Structure 1
Amino acid sequence: MAPERQKIMAKIKTSLSHLFFAHGENDIFVTPSGQSGMSDKKVILLDVSSLLRTGIQGLLAEHGYQTAAQFLTIEAMHSALPELHADLIIMEHLQQSPEVFSHLVQIRKAYPAIKVLILSSSSSDFHIQLSRRAGASGYINKNSSLDKIINTVNTITTGGYCYGSELWQHHARYPRDASLLLSLSHIDICILRYISAGYSNQIIASLLNMNNKKVSAYKQRIMAKFNMTRLAELVDLAKRNYLY
């Protein structure tokens, strides 16, 4: 490897060192036969972390991909898409608005040629199922190795899909979480997020423009659906599914 290339790779690994832990996995890759990663593909990055975006941009450049744009919010990205002519979106859904997956559905319908890879801190089966339903071609965890990330990008840009095998561990441990969370309303999910954040009924009521009694009723209904008797159980449910 040439000295200049070594410097580039060292910089990439330094940028990502606080976010990724290299380890081997057995992953699910489905790619049309005879195809491999292509260069000159345009990629959009969506993540609130500038460190992550910088690291991923460097990794992509090392493998011939062009970063067309970077965004902090899915709303800003959605409105800019007509001018970008991108091939792939790499995005984190956490720390976005509650409507992030609704935006993703709209994007996939309006721009079916643009593939989507979710690169997330969450391994929640709930988020994996939401991503599948929204049309994402892949979902991998930020703990993945650099090789795995670029292999996944290559797979998706050549028409395949990849959902990392480690993601199924959450489903194996909490098999009912995803189906029950998917049965909740948008308001239910918002309340779960606020409960996980430690907000009182009064604050939640103010945020959602409802009275305290109604918030309490929502809490009781959610707990009954999950067969829970203690608020601590509800908080644990929200936290293990990254609802905060």
Structure 2
Amino acid sequence: MKKQKIRVMLVDDHTIVRKGLRLILELHDRIEVCGEAASLKETIEMITVGRPDVILLDFKLPDGDGIEGCKKIRKQFPEIKILILTAYSQDHIVMEAIRAGANGYLLKNIKSDELIKSVFNVFENESVLDPSVTEVIFKQLHTRNHPTEQQLSPRETDILNMISKGSTNKEIAESLYISEKTVRNYISNLFKKINVHNRTKAARYWLMKNS
């Protein structure tokens, strides 16, 4: 009996990267690349046509980041497996992508055979993490089990620190490799946690706490 082919969609705004991934994946007779997209908007539009089992999703796209991408795909197509493939290995990005629903997180320097193996693993409902980011997960779990006084996450602490230095939402977004919309959401939650209503009071709170 012939085994089911795994339908994979490639999402990356660089054409040469998508073509290279297609060549690698289609070397395996059980993988079929069913579509390519260069943005989140294109991805959502093409999913109903390509009907992928697995999406290889770049983190940084012209109209959003991998966190937004995972949330949008999860909301509309919860059965699809999402494998982040990116050059970014920062702690906060890895954790937020997993929280947003990614089934795996890989760096772009991965070897071809490991990439193919990872596609099969997430298709079989396994979680996949690049070895270089595995330590991040344990560190974040330790932080979660030993919360700070205000229970601020490392990301919230970074944002609060930048607010105290006068950084704009755009500057924060660029520094943390996330969208301005994601920054606004974090700031809204952050204000609730420290019980302030504007950036000036948030900055004052942080400066006093660290004085």
With the shorter chain as reference, the TM-score category is 0.5 to 0.7
Residue equivalent to 2:153: 179
Deviation by residue 1:169-226 (Cα, 9 ceiling, x = unmatched): 56789998x93215659x97533134689xxxxxxxxxxxxxxxxxxx57x839948x
Query: Partner of 1:122: helix, strand, or coil?
Result: coil
Distance in 2 of aligned mates of 1:47 and 1:228:
41
Question: Does 1:51 find its partner at 2:16?
Answer: yes
Deviation by residue 1:57-101 (Cα, 9 ceiling, x = unmatched): 011111121111111101111122222211110011114434652
Query: Partner of 1:62: helix, strand, or coil?
Result: coil
Aligned 8 A contact 2:13 2:38 in 1: yes
**Cα 1:222/1:150, change in 2 over 3 Å:** farther
Of 126, 129, 143 in structure 1, the residue corresponding to residue 95 of structure 2 is 129
Aligned 8 A contact 2:38 2:61 in 1: no
Aligned 8 A contact 1:125 1:168 in 2: no
**Cα 1:223/1:44, change in 2 over 3 Å:** farther
Question: Does 1:138 find its partner at 2:104?
Answer: yes
Query: Partner of 2:26: helix, strand, or coil?
Result: helix
Aligned 8 A contact 2:86 2:107 in 1: yes
Question: Does 1:193 find its partner at 2:159?
Answer: no
Q: CA deviation at 1:159?
A: 1.7
Aligned 8 A contact 1:43 1:69 in 2: yes
The Cα RMSD (Å) is: 3.5
Residue equivalent to 2:85: 119
Q: CA deviation at 1:39?
A: 5.4
Of 6, 23, 26 in structure 2, the residue corresponding to residue 61 of structure 1 is 26
Residue equivalent to 2:122: 156
Query: Partner of 2:153: helix, strand, or coil?
Result: helix
Aligned 8 A contact 2:95 2:137 in 1: no
The aligned amino acid for 2:173 is R
Query: Partner of 2:8: helix, strand, or coil?
Result: strand
**Cα 1:82/1:156, change in 2 over 3 Å:** same
5+ residue gaps in structure 2? 144-151, 161-166, 178-198
Residue equivalent to 2:192: none
**Cα 1:102/1:95, change in 2 over 3 Å:** closer
TM-score when normalising by structure 2: 0.66
Deviation by residue 1:117-155 (Cα, 9 ceiling, x = unmatched): 001100111111111111111001111111211111111
Q: CA deviation at 1:47?
A: 0.6
Aligned 8 A contact 1:120 1:140 in 2: yes
TM-score when normalising by structure 1: 0.58
Q: CA deviation at 1:53?
A: 0.8
The aligned amino acid for 2:203 is R
The aligned amino acid for 2:49 is E
5+ residue gaps in structure 1? 1-37, 198-216, 230-244
Percent identical across equivalent pairs?
A: 19
Residue equivalent to 2:164: none
Alignment of 1:198-217 (within 5 A): none
Distance in 2 of aligned mates of 1:195 and 1:160:
32
Aligned residues: 169
Residue equivalent to 2:203: 221
Aligned 8 A contact 1:78 1:103 in 2: no
**Cα 1:152/1:195, change in 2 over 3 Å:** closer
Bigger relative contact order (CA 8 A; separation at least 6): 1
